[in-house]
Amino acid sequence: MTAALFNFVLRLVSLSWLTGPIFDKELRVSSRRRRNYVLRFAYLALLTMLLVLFWVIAVPSGQSRLYQSSRMAEAGQIIIACIVWFQFVATQILAGIMLSTSISDEIYHKTLGLLMTTPISSFQVVVGKLLSKLLQLLLLMAISLPLLAIVRVFGGVPWGYIVSGLCITLTMVLFVGSLSLFFSIFSRKAYVVIILTVLTLGMLFALIPLFTVMIFVNSDIVSENEFFTGLSYLNPYFCLALATEAMMSPRAGGWIAGLYWPWQCAVMLGGSGLLLFLSVLMVRRVALRQATGQLGASSSKRRPRRQDGAGITVEQAFEHPPRRVRGSAILWKELKSPLFGRRKLAFVISIAVGLILLFLTYAFFADTGDLDEDGLHIMYGVIFMSLGTLFAIILPATCITSEKESRAWPLLLATTLGDWQILGAKFAGILRRSLPIWCLLFGHIILFTFAKIIHPIAIIHTALLVGWLMVFLSGSGLYFSTCFKRTTTAVIANFALAAVVWGIAPLLMALMAEIDLLDFDFLESYLDTNPFVHIVVIIEATAGRGSLSNYHWIDYGNKGVYDTTAWMTACAFGYVFLGLLFAWRAKCRLRRNIF
């Protein structure tokens, strides 16, 4: 009896009843994957570079020691805020990507039904999958803890901000991971899960607060104080911003976050618990259907012996020769493949709802008289550009890895199709799938061009910008998709490339310029090649009752239409060359590491 009691206490303390053997299996697999160690190194390297940059900016080296000592407290505040916000954003991105195939892999490989024949419960499957991935993110967050403790010695940073930042980050990462895991039950495509996760987060923490302002605050139903108080309970981004404001400027009123962040964390934990509860129910349902061989039976029962107009049944139709596909079969397959699987109705409804919400925002800003402001159109342009860039990063990185994971890649390479035919068809499929999201950007510009608010030249410049962006990111995504076997790794690599080219490289150049190792003019010239700088410059010059003003570049200066077109064409040639170079490397690696 003593041994039984000891085993019970040991099992209770070890939490094996909560995670089950799934957690242990995932940890053993993760510890043998090279990509996790590469991820930790990249995370620490990027964090270190950001800290050095902000240190050089906050404490100039050419000043006296007395001046540097007086800046220590402010430098500590800036560095602590940098660490907290960096891990807040980075861990959410990684959580959404790492859990995008957590359940779909088990469903697609038909191992989920086998788990129902073991003592492992659906609760242990869900929690084990979630915690095994979140543990890797906790290790990344643990890397920054010594830095947080050391920098706090400079003064000016209360422990309350560090604790609140860590708690808000942990609860938000748990929510994002639970959301990505929930969507992975319904789709086996990683890019669909990632996109749905991003759109859901944007809906919850951006669109809903915006419509709340439009409906309630603007009509004086709710006061601004009540709105911001409620937002601090529900929105982790706003809550962390208030906490940062309280730490940087205690007299600015940001102290309110110190009272509300525990409630905000409780709300996120409640949302995560609800998502996990729904995930457990859905996993159990799918696993039981798969274990009893009924997973694909429902779709066949809905279409029994359907007849066409000639009175021919489906069984009789199979007796006739199948329809021949003209041209490239892989191109036909890529062009016919739907973006969000077979759920066309849900896709159409989502698009309709999104367009209705978009036009409601137009109506709101038209009522306030802000549609003539170029800043408003810059905001729309940056948002639509971010969504399009998200699709352009994710879609190419999943083209070949999805074939490898489904074990269809060796069969495709065994056909008579050439390497360039396969890559060309994949690129055509990327363009087709990303077309709906780019229609938002072009639709916005075309709509307000007809309204004589944006000059028509913006359409040509935006088309040139989107063209080279798609070629560059598609080429790099196809290359990473040939290098790796897992979709998650390829997507992270393409994200990392975009972050390095348009985020990390400018920061590194700024650091070198601060210590006089690089000229600031070179940094400004490099920033003029950034696609987001391009869209801001384009809309700023063309918005405002259709008038056309000079294009204000960072280093290129104020230029006219012809000079701007020449500069954008030169940038396009450079990025297209890099994209084609990546595509050529993808062609060279196409038949390597097939299995």
In whole angstroms, what is the distance from residue 284 CA to residue 96 CA?
22
pLDDT for the residue 303 = 44
In whole angstroms, what is the distance from residue 369 CA to residue 469 CA?
33
Residue type, 28: R
Three-state DSSP at 314 gives helix
In whole angstroms, what is the distance from residue 547 CA to residue 259 CA?
48
Residues in the chain: 595
pLDDT for the residue 297 = 43
pLDDT for the residue 472 = 96
Report residue 561 as tokens: 């239409």
In whole angstroms, what is the distance from residue 514 CA to residue 520 CA?
9
Residue type, 474: S
In whole angstroms, what is the distance from residue 71 CA to residue 59 CA?
6
Residue where the block lists tokens 């997973």: 295
Distance of CA 153 to the CA centre of its chain: 35
Segment-wise mean pLDDT, segments of 10 residues, the chain, 595 residues: 58 58 74 78 81 73 62 76 88 87 76 75 83 85 79 71 88 93 83 84 84 68 71 85 79 53 89 91 81 53 43 49 70 72 67 81 81 86 91 89 82 84 90 89 91 90 94 94 85 89 84 74 87 92 78 85 91 95 92 76
- Contacts (Cβ under 8 Å, ≥6 apart) of 32: none
In whole angstroms, what is the distance from residue 419 CA to residue 543 CA?
44
Distances 367 to 229, 363, 371, 453, 584 between C-alpha atoms, Å: 26, 6, 9, 16, 52
Q: What is the DSSP string of 26-42?
A: HHHHHTT-HHHHHHHHH
**Cα angle vertex 393, ends 389, 398, to 5°?**
145
DSSP category for residue 275: H
**Beta strands 558-559; 551-552: pairing state:** antiparallel
Report residue 475 as tokens: 């080429």
- Contacts (Cβ under 8 Å, ≥6 apart) of 534: 461, 465, 568, 571
pLDDT for the residue 343 = 62
Contact status, residue 404 vs residue 212, Cβ threshold 8 Å: no
pLDDT for the residue 235 = 87
In whole angstroms, what is the distance from residue 60 CA to residue 526 CA?
24
Residue 409 exposure: Cα atoms within 13 Å on the Cβ side: 24
Contact status, residue 91 vs residue 173, Cβ threshold 8 Å: yes
**Cα angle vertex 176, ends 285, 85, to 5°?**
170
Using CA atoms of 70, 74, 75, 80 in order, give the dihedral in degrees to the nearest 10: 150
- Contacts (Cβ under 8 Å, ≥6 apart) of 261: 164, 167, 168, 232, 239, 243
Residue 567 phi, psi dihedral angles, 5° rounding: -65, -45
Three-state DSSP at 573 gives helix
Q: Give the closest residue to 279 by CA, choosing from 175, 194, 406.
A: 175
Q: What residues does each domain of the chain span?
A: 14-293, 372-588
Q: What is the DSSP string of 351-369?
A: HHHHHHHHHHHHHHHHHHT
Q: Please state the pTM of the whole predicted model.
A: 0.77
The CA-based diameter of the chain, rounded to the nearest angstrom, is 93
**Cα angle vertex 177, ends 342, 173, to 5°?**
145
In whole angstroms, what is the distance from residue 235 CA to residue 202 CA?
11
